[in-house]
Structure 1
Amino acid sequence: MLQNNPELKSKIDQLWNKFWSGGISNPLTAIEQITYLLFMKRLDELDLKRQSDAKWTEEHYTSKFDGHWVPPEYRARREERDTDADWVKKLEDEKKYQIKKCTLRWSEFRSMQAEDMLQHVHGKVFPFLKELNGAESNFTHHMKNAVFVIPKPALLVEAVKTIDEIFAVMERDSQDNGQAFQDIQGDVYEFLLSEIATAGKNGQFRTPRHIIKLVADLAQPQLGHKIADPACGSGGFLLGAYQYVVTQLAKNEAQKNKTELKLIPDEDGFTRTSVAAALTDKAQAILSASLWGYDIDSTMVRLGLMNLMMHGIDEPNIDYKDTLSKSYNQEAEYDVIMANPPFTGSIDKGDINEDLKLATTKTELLFVENIYRLLKKGGTGAVIVPQGVLFGSGKAFKDLRKLLVDRCDLKAVITLPSGVFKPYAGVSTAILLFTKVWGPKDKIDKPATEHVWFYEMISDGYSLDDRRTKQEGYGDLQDIIAKYHARDVQKDTDRTAKCFMVPYSEIVDEKNDYDLSLSRYKEDVFEEVHYDAPSLILDHLIQAEVGDVDKAKLAIVKSGIVHELLELKEMVE
């Protein structure tokens, strides 16, 4: 994680300070402008790499910077009254304003003089960026209202220089520590996003990358699955699913060809590769088309789109939508949903989708019900919730738990320690894993859940304070994955252990009444401790002070405290 790379953290701090002193003090505006620059840089690097890979593999690749481009204000527009001659004249005039796309690369403009660079990026590079995927693309649609607002040439020059330095540190860290460049970039994003002053309002917290990987290893999305996050933010869970699928495909291909795939576990014990170049064009197309994300913050939609595009997904399916509202009518659409929806938020009661039946405006409840609604039968939900969802006494809380236990096969409840989301929040959370068995209108023949597997995570491999320093080992991360996938074989019954099974009958009985809190079922073990007699304890204290009991009696006049201890000993005896 970024906390363990002080050089990288320092560079990002410098970048923030430069934006602040350069006149952009709104953190949300700053993060958006920084992301545009990061995107320009990464786009250039990815394009050059793909060109190099294409030469090596002898595959065809058309660079995004091949050919010419005309800024929108100079493009020929054919009016109804134009004659053919008028139209030809307009096209000839348009050619005067053609720009070689190669001049729009980061590597081309980074060495320009300050004034020239600002004019070039503002008037040419950024407009080109907004239209990168064509006029009809989802990316262009959401970039339509995006504005490049860096006001000073000096600020742009300093920002470009610092971003070059950040990428150099990331590349070196990737090579030295065997961590995927994508993961380091994800940590950079996470740190940048943590600086937004509004982070934490409406329960919007960034999910640590190792928790996203844990959820992906538990949910196990596959190629061909339609995967979604109904509150995707900057796209972390979609990237996590993408990475997981690519890694499994690479492993399968290596096994099929009987070749060795050298994947070094990262600092959290996960093996990942983001090298989608090894995939066939068909597999890449299927995977890119299978990831869907939605968010109600237009800035986060843009950040999510650019984030996925920087990781090789050319046309991400991220859209601006309120998935809890009446305007969003999808149902039984997805095979896998991985999400960390907003906590503690509320929405307008009048705009809640009528298909959501819980009588509440609490988003932490409505999102889980909505995930159930959006899943196909047999689909898997993996969602992070505040632990209050597990035991809340209100009717809506209980109704949601009944839904998860009766209409779904609730496979696991994994409680996380409260420090996992620091420094954003100290809220205690849990991961719910379930499979949709019965639809909302189905008559239930029998409850879908047979037993629920509980696991109490004590450590995620990092300190649980605001610093979140990496600790030795992986914490409970890899143990959770191994034991979850072996739960049906091992049938854990020891209620004093970290993990154990609880049968459906016990969860729904009158005493527990659908309570899903781990503490309800865990048995605490109290070790019997034997203490010495008080007089013997006092002897030990005296010996520690002056040597042994006999000498202590001779030292009474030298030590007031020993005198008092001896008097106390006599009283006890």
Structure 2
Amino acid sequence: MANISNFVKRIRDIMRNDAGINGDAQRIEQMSWMLFLKVYDTKEADWEFAEEDYKSIIPDNCKWSSWAHEEKAGDGMTGDTLLDFVNNTLFPTLKKLEVTPETPVKKAIVKTVFEDANNYMKDGVLLRQVLCVIDELDLGDYEESHAFGDIYESILKELQSAGSSGEFYTPRAVTEFMAERIAPKLGETVADFACGTGGFLTSWLKQLEDKTNSAEDVLKYSSSIYGIEKKPFPYTLCITNMLLHGIDVPRIYHDNSLQYDVLNYTDDDRFDVILMNLPYGGNEKSDIKSHFPSDLASSETADLFMSVIMYRLKKNGRAAVIIPDGFLFGTDNAKVAIKKKLLTEFNLHTVIRMPSSVFAPYTSITTNILFFNRPKEQGTADNPATKETWFYRLDMPEGYKHFSKTKPMKIEHFEEARIWWENRHEIEEDGFPKAKKYTNKELTDLGYNIDLCGYPHEEEEILAPKDLIARYEEKRASLNAEIDSVLADITRILGE
């Protein structure tokens, strides 16, 4: 147990001496495939014990216990011999594993994990040292495995400061608050269609842990999650995360959620709960937009994911999603159509406005949490499902100017919002609304610009160039839409 506390530091110190590792992102990526094989090896030992006819998909010579494990110090492969094995036997073998539609998920994930994995290390002696540190973990021991789950969380947290990899990590304070408000029930299914490293799914599982009191409960617990991740690196981290949380058959798929026609989804494709941080800032090509009805076919990634969520949420289902400010204030045609659908067919009951630095240093774009559900009977224009929507502004905690790597957001920073949630009332501070209820008609009359209860006293934002361009493009699209609307009105009046 003593070695677990400085696990990450020991590996970082070794890898810093290897010429092949360039920065934190590559270090974590290198660590991820090795940790996966170590965790998978432990799981396979359990499966072999429980299933008399279990046969591994991994050839014997490529199993962690065959090549990475040392029976006694110094008896394992090292140096050029180890590098040659990893580069010319291990990786080619695992990348070419035979997988068919009949292959069980818990076996197929091995090939999927290694399809895009890389070995960056160039020093076989240093590689052996890293393997020895990882192999010290006794994941068969419940307490040590549980403790390592916390260490793994710290590894994922480092993604926030590892360049662009931070986009795959949502601060745990946020995922825990959202999962807590959603209030999971055993027997329900949850989905995240851009699951990154699996933060929302683990927060969901954490909420369910204390409710599993029987073998039947455990089965419901382990079959409750579903995730899709487009990029290979976070996919590997997510699979490992799920295995560490006792999910033997993780329904996590390496795929793109936007490449399927939303009108083709059936009840079998829908979920009780959807928890997500919507990818944003990207622009999708026309072939992706063709999978959506023309009025919802935005070029903005976050908008398209909102449509996917609405088409994949079950009746009586609940959703909590993170979305950037641009969605709230945007009045271009696609955003208006999406918000109109949301406020008509769904019940958008709560919007939590979050401070701008929640996702620092990855992005300084301000984000919001939308909480909504899909009623049993679909709302209509004459009888919209959303009757009223509460907006609540979560201010920076006292003593904080910005959140940062050394002063991250914590779950207790949501305490004020938790208290308000249970006893909703309007709040005004310095003449500006902090919490306020708006009717469906008021939101409609605003032209679906629902940028409400914002931050009136916030200092001028200094955005990174990428964020600044994204914000400018959103504002320009909204302004163009407003100009087009005015010109259309003038043309109609002149025509009359």
TM-score, length of structure 1 as denominator length: 0.64
- Provide the residue aligned with 1:243 in structure 2: 206
2:337 corresponds, among 378, 383, 399, to: 399
Give the Cα–Cα distance (whole angstroms) in 2 for the partners of residues 182 and 498 of structure 1: 41
Change (3 A) 1:64 1:398: same
Give the Cα–Cα distance (whole angstroms) in 1 for the partners of residues 327 and 312 of structure 2: 20
Q: What does the per-residue CA deviation read over 1:287-320, in whole Å, with 9 as the maximum and x for residues that have no partner? A: 2222111122233323322221122111111112
1:337 corresponds, among 274, 281, 288, to: 274
Change (3 A) 1:184 1:503: same
- Provide the residue aligned with 1:374 in structure 2: 312
TM-score, length of structure 2 as denominator length: 0.73
Instruction: Give the 5 Å matches for 1:395-544.
Output: 395-437=333-375, 443-459=380-396, 464-469=402-407, 475-484=412-421, 486=422, 490-496=423-429, 500-505=435-440, 507-508=442-443, 510=445, 512-519=446-453
Instruction: Give the 5 Å matches for 1:77-226.
Output: 103=66, 106=69, 108=71, 112-113=75-76, 114-115=78-79, 135-137=103-105, 138-143=108-113, 145=115, 149=119, 150-163=121-134, 181-191=148-158, 193-194=159-160, 196-199=162-165, 204-226=167-189
1:350 corresponds, among 287, 291, 312, to: 287
Change (3 A) 1:417 1:110: farther
- Provide the residue aligned with 1:286 in structure 2: 220
Identity %: 25
Q: Is the 8 A contact 1:420 1:460 kept in 2?
A: no
Q: Is the 8 A contact 1:453 1:501 kept in 2?
A: yes
- Provide the residue aligned with 1:55 in structure 2: none
SS at match of 2:328: helix
SS at match of 2:226: strand
Structure with higher Rg: it is 1
Q: What does the per-residue CA deviation read over 1:337-381, in whole Å, with 9 as the maximum and x for residues that have no partner? A: 000121111111232213474142111111112111110111111
Change (3 A) 1:493 1:354: closer
Change (3 A) 1:318 1:67: closer
Deviates most, 230-239 or 61-70: 61-70
Change (3 A) 1:182 1:455: farther
Q: Is the 8 A contact 1:334 1:374 kept in 2?
A: yes
Q: Is the 8 A contact 1:387 1:517 kept in 2?
A: yes
Change (3 A) 1:450 1:110: farther
Change (3 A) 1:107 1:314: farther
Give the Cα–Cα distance (whole angstroms) in 2 for the partners of residues 17 and 153 of structure 1: 14
Give the Cα–Cα distance (whole angstroms) in 2 for the partners of residues 327 and 107 of structure 1: 50
Q: CA shift at 1:23, angstroms?
A: 1.7
Q: Is the 8 A contact 2:321 2:369 kept in 1?
A: yes
Q: CA shift at 1:399, angstroms?
A: 2.4
Change (3 A) 1:324 1:124: closer
- Provide the residue aligned with 1:31 in structure 2: 28
Give the Cα–Cα distance (whole angstroms) in 2 for the partners of residues 70 and 319 of structure 1: 18
Give the Cα–Cα distance (whole angstroms) in 1 for the partners of residues 84 and 215 of structure 2: 38
Q: Is the 8 A contact 2:261 2:292 kept in 1?
A: no
Give the Cα–Cα distance (whole angstroms) in 1 for the partners of residues 117 and 447 of structure 2: 53
Give, as a single letter, the amino acid of the residue that structure 1 aligns with 2:258. Answer: L
Q: Is the 8 A contact 2:303 2:338 kept in 1?
A: yes
CA RMSD of aligned residues (A): 4.2
- Provide the residue aligned with 1:386 in structure 2: 324
Q: Is the 8 A contact 2:390 2:436 kept in 1?
A: yes
The reply on whether 1:14 has 2:1 as its aligned counterpart is: no
Q: CA shift at 1:197, angstroms?
A: 4.1
Change (3 A) 1:139 1:153: same
SS at match of 1:452: strand
Change (3 A) 1:360 1:103: closer
Q: Is the 8 A contact 2:347 2:373 kept in 1?
A: yes
Deviates most, 355-364 or 309-318: 355-364
Give the Cα–Cα distance (whole angstroms) in 1 for the partners of residues 83 and 279 of structure 2: 38
- Provide the residue aligned with 2:240 in structure 1: 306
SS at match of 1:446: coil
SS at match of 2:407: coil
Q: CA shift at 1:15, angstroms?
A: 5.0
Give, as a single letter, the amino acid of the residue that structure 2 aligns with 1:446. Answer: N
Give, as a single letter, the amino acid of the residue that structure 2 aligns with 1:294. Answer: I
Q: Is the 8 A contact 2:355 2:394 kept in 1?
A: yes
Give, as a single letter, the amino acid of the residue that structure 2 aligns with 1:244. Answer: Q
- Provide the residue aligned with 2:480 in structure 1: none
Give, as a single letter, the amino acid of the residue that structure 2 aligns with 1:185. Answer: Y
Q: CA shift at 1:214, angstroms?
A: 0.9
Give the Cα–Cα distance (whole angstroms) in 2 for the partners of residues 100 and 196 of structure 1: 30
SS at match of 1:345: coil
Q: CA shift at 1:480, angstroms?
A: 1.9
Q: What does the per-residue CA deviation read over 1:149-172, in whole Å, with 9 as the maximum and x for residues that have no partner? A: 34432121232355478x79xx9x
Change (3 A) 1:106 1:480: farther
Q: CA shift at 1:212, angstroms?
A: 0.8
Q: CA shift at 1:429, angstroms?
A: 0.5
Give the Cα–Cα distance (whole angstroms) in 2 for the partners of residues 6 and 24 of structure 1: 23
Give the Cα–Cα distance (whole angstroms) in 2 for the partners of residues 426 and 110 of structure 1: 48
Instruction: Give the number of the structure with larger relative contact order, counting CA–CA contacts within 8 Å between residues 6 or more apart.
Output: 2
Aligned length: 435
Give, as a single letter, the amino acid of the residue that structure 2 aligns with 1:286. Answer: K
